[in-house]
Homo-oligomer: A and B are copies of this chain.
Amino acid sequence: MSLELFTVNNLWLLVATCLVFIMHLGFSMLEAGFVRKKNTVNILFKNAMIIAIGLLTYFFVGWGLMYPGDDFAGGFFGFAGFGASMPAEVAEAYAAGQYDAYADGGYTPWTDFIFQAMFAATCATIVSGAVAERIKLGAFLIFAAIFVAIAYPITGMWQWGGGWLAENGFHDFAGSTLVHAVGGAAALAAVMVLGARKGKYSEKGIKPIPGHSMPLAAMGVFLLWFGWYGFNGGSVLSADAVGVSFVFVTTSLAAAAGAVFAFIVSYAISKTHDLSMVLNGILGGLVGITAGADVVSPMAALAIGAIAGAIIPLSVVMFDKIKIDDPVGATSVHLVCGIWGTLAVGIFAADKSFMWQAIGCFSIIAFSFVFSYALMYALKVTIGIRVSEEEEIKGLDISEHEMEAYQEKESSPVFGYAVE
């Protein structure tokens, strides 16, 4: 491969890394917008720490678990060692002008690591919204660290690290299952162990608990869509012109169709124009197309996005009915639409096996769910995972952080500056 092509391939992966990074701001704003004002600092704190924890654990452990290489791996588990580095033989090959010495010239080992590390951190973030407003900060951070260090890379290795699913033709282009459903399954498990927010479900019925800021939620979704061009586009693993541009088209069409069909179905259900459904419909369309963005046609992308969008309001209602209290709809968006998107590859892509799509998807979800349930349960019976009822009423911002997200005081020109 020429130096020029190697350079442009690698550059696109790095730009995509930036785009995936900004998804963390998207998640932060989306989750902050969908929780109550009194829990806003808490959700921001968790999101800021998760990126840090995600990058660090992936550097130390996750990377070695997810890409063990042939020498260290079975089909289900392997470990290449701690840390990330530039192997001497790659550096020598580059010096000799052999730019396809690593990853067929798509990128350097450093690029490989940082692009994958951003994905890993994304997966952990999915959980934080679902368990918002009642989980103990410390318990959550421990859960997130262990989950992203161990669970995410193990199932990731099954496919992207060359494990048993990769060998059987499972196709999950950018991670409808490997990232989104894995995160969504962990979210579901965590919510089941943790329980619903106080007052959400009672004999009087299901209490709506609206989020405190729709502008933040909308901003989050736009930023996630923006970042998804890196998430899916970067998963081409080169700057291949036809490959990346095709993925941009399928990704865009699915997101757009998701918005429209979430709108239509939610309007049919509730006869109102529900912004949160449209926002989650966009995300559902994006999660749905992630598995097959490279292999399905634009018309199939429209269908996948439309069905994902239609699923969103139905799934949100369904989870509420079975008393799974997920303040931001993460299970509907990431788990349900992740499953749909993975199975859809078996439907719309001629050469993919529906059976193996199902086997892969449900195996991975099962692992993530069981791991997360066991880990959360272990935390519950040891350090405890839920704040006290009093703390939940006061809000986590005060009880965990001694801060408020917004300061109204001293703001009025009438009341002026409170010296005391």
**Interface residues of A, Cβ cutoff 8 Å to B:** 2-12, 14-15, 17-19, 21-22, 24-25, 28-29, 32, 36-38, 40-41, 44-45, 47-49, 51-53, 55-56, 59, 83-86, 91, 94, 99, 107-108, 110-111, 113-114, 117, 137, 198-199, 209-216, 218-219, 221-223, 225-226, 229-230, 233, 239-242, 244-246, 248-249, 252-253, 255-260, 263, 272-276, 278-279, 282, 298-299, 302, 392-395, 397-398, 400-408, 410-413, 416-417, 419
What is the bound-complex CA distance between A100 and B5, given in angstroms? 17
Q: How far is the CB of A143 from chain B (nearest CB, A)?
A: 16
Known contacts A44-B214, A108-B241, A249-B110: A411-B36 contact under CB 8 Å: yes
* A36:B213 contact, CB within 8 angstroms: no
What is the bound-complex CA distance between A83 and B29, given in angstroms? 35
- Beyond contacts A44-B218, A210-B404: 5 other A-B pairs, Cβ-Cβ < 8 A, are A14-B229, A38-B410, A49-B278, A275-B403, A276-B403
Tell me which residues across on chain B come within 8 A of A211, comparing CB atoms: 407
Chain A, interface SS category: helix
Tell me which residues across on chain B come within 8 A of A276, comparing CB atoms: 403
* A257:B25 contact, CB within 8 angstroms: no
Tell me which residues across on chain B come within 8 A of A275, comparing CB atoms: 41, 44-45, 48, 401, 403
* B411:A395 contact, CB within 8 angstroms: yes
Known contacts A56-B257, A260-B52, A278-B45: A249-B113 contact under CB 8 Å: yes
